[in-house]
Structure 1
Amino acid sequence: MEPAESAGELYVSYKPLLFSLAYRMLGSVMDAEDIVQEAFLYVNETKLDHVQNMKSYLCKLVTHRCIDRLRSASKQREVYVGPWLPEPLIADRDPDGEPSRSYLHKESLSTAYLLLLQQLSWTERAVFLLREVLQYEYDEIADIVGKSSTNCRQIFHRAKRAVSGLPDPRDGQPSAAPPARGGPHPSQEQTGDLIERFVQALTTGNVGKLLDILSADAVLYSDGGGKVTAAVRPVQSAERISRFFEGLMAKLPEAFSYRMADVNGQPGIVCYSGKQPVNVISFHIREDRVHGIYIVVNPDKLKHVL
């Protein structure tokens, strides 16, 4: 490590990158923050004169810690109640005032994209993210994950094929595919307009208008984690989703409010009871229609939301 590179300077330079890697690996804001902090504490307390490439070294520390965290949490995931969704990432409320929560490609932060990554093994996920999102060379990736560059190339292509495939949204677990290659990718403005129409339909009590916004085969997932009431199975089809929201809106507390927010790099909604966040809603848009709705109501996944 260069003498001029203090731990504080490294933190400022690399925290956005490391957080973006850890969050995509884990799907957890709080765990990603913890792992990045652990990595910098280790760097601060360890003699690292032998390190030639600090960026790769830090990515290696974070990647290995993420895999350890995923391994230790695997049993909990097996018995998780209902669909599992990633913790929502609210970019406009970054407590450090840093770009770490919108770092690099916003589309690779979307809930739909993170769910596609869940199809990959831990090593495949690391190799795929380092190559596809962070643009690392295979030799660098090999050093980070402890495999040959040839092996990393094979792992990447296998992972890319898996992520590019079209998962079955009716298998009981959340899944979503990116828009078809060659099809139009909605702009942030188009997505925002569609979500505003969605909110207007709900807040005016005209839930029937949702049928004009939802694709016929839309799927809604609700993650309560067994902590609060939530649909433990996907709600499938535009008509059923409309009825779901009709029942939901009839039970809203008097102190209910909401705000539009940047959720995982896309327009989304944060809902409150009084000042307490009670759910975060994100969307997957396909061909100018809402194709996927992801509602996080698990209070453990909302602790970081303001």
Structure 2
Amino acid sequence: MSEPTTDTADAATEAFVTHRNLLFTVAYEMLGSAADAEDVLQETWLRWAGVDLDGVRDRRAYLVQITTRQALMRLRALGRRKESYLGPWLPEPLLTTPDVAEDVELADSVSMAMLLVMETLAPTERAVFVLREVFDFGYDEIAQAVDKSPAAVRQIAYRARAHVAARRPREAVSAADTREALMAFQRAVETGDPRELLDRLAPDVVLLTDGGGVVRAAPAPIVGAGRVAVVLRGIDAAMSLRPAQVNGHPALVLRRDGKVDTVLALRVDDGLVTGLYAVRNPEKLSRMERETALRR
């Protein structure tokens, strides 16, 4: 195979850079891991760099096709690893910009709650759901990406949509209301006032903690305002709590001795916290550590 010319290489690079954010988001929503999404993008680039661009009609669609296929392979491998994961598994927290929160559909699709729902889909169903429901790709384009017929993709999309709808989190409140609830929740955690904590938690609130078997974490979900409040009151007073935009929604980043210890993402409904997602697995916090350090 002949070496690509400089013009061709420049065109390939330009197309990849132009669509990189889209490709990363597709991979992240399929995998729930920023680190794995970055690996998928590296594989995508290696394959894209060797493509004859003269034969590519739609560069965006072609790049998404490569990314989806690479993500599917990794997703199937990750599924086997998750079977032996210790305790609850949570997605790797992703620091997002305020404009993501303003795009309600995108913010919802990358939220911790929604990513956990998508975890219950089979790999191909997840790919089809992400491409169709989140990014509105056509059935023909999706069919090429998942190596199925358009008719089969329609059926998969229908099943995936129904599956997600039955488990989808309740409709979230506005970003402003959620931020207000976060500030009140942060004050309650910092003061440790049991009454104030209970006032901020829904009666059926659920706390999930992901320590990956490496650091201390609850081995099963903790359910109920009383039980969750007890856990929250146990947070070390020496820890600093700072608000951040994580997975399209407000969250708290807890630091001990200057290092990220926990990322606590919130789900808020009707002004009350209904879901808490505490990521403590150090492997899932390394990216957050780097990115928050740059913004401090």
> So what's the TM-score if we normalise by structure 2?
0.90
Task: Say whether the 8 Å CA contact 1:268–1:283 is kept in structure 2.
Answer: yes
Residues matched between the structures, number: 283
Change in Cα spacing, 1:100 to 1:146, as seen in structure 2 (3 Å) is farther
Task: Say whether the 8 Å CA contact 1:16–1:101 is kept in structure 2.
Answer: no
- Between stretches 291-300 and 1-10, larger displacement belongs to 1-10
1:217 aligns with 2:219: no
Larger proportion of helix? 2
Change in Cα spacing, 1:43 to 1:100, as seen in structure 2 (3 Å) is farther
Match of 1:280 in 2: 263
Task: Say whether the 8 Å CA contact 2:139–2:150 is kept in structure 1.
Answer: yes
Aligned pairs (5 A) from 1:1-306: 6-92=11-97, 105-166=106-167, 177-179=168-170, 185-246=172-233, 248-249=234-235, 251-252=236-237, 254=238, 256-306=239-289
- Measure how far apart 1:226 and its partner are: 0.2
- Measure how far apart 1:41 and its partner are: 2.5
Map Cα deviations across residues 258-279 of structure 1 (whole Å, 9 max, x no partner): 2110010001111111221111
Match of 2:294 in 1: none
Aligned-partner residue type, residue 106 of structure 1: A
Q: Once superposed, what is the RMSD of the aligned Cα atoms?
A: 2.2
- Measure how far apart 1:117 and its partner are: 0.4
Aligned-partner residue type, residue 208 of structure 2: Y
Q: Structure 1: which 5+ residue stretches go unaligned?
A: 94-98, 167-176
The 2-side partners of 1:11 and 1:77 are apart by 31
Task: Say whether the 8 Å CA contact 2:101–2:175 is kept in structure 1.
Answer: no
Task: Say whether the 8 Å CA contact 1:19–1:100 is kept in structure 2.
Answer: no
Q: Structure 2: which 5+ residue stretches go unaligned?
A: 290-296
Match of 1:170 in 2: none
The 2-side partners of 1:73 and 1:100 are apart by 27
Q: Percent identity?
A: 39
The 2-side partners of 1:125 and 1:158 are apart by 11
> So what's the TM-score if we normalise by structure 1?
0.87
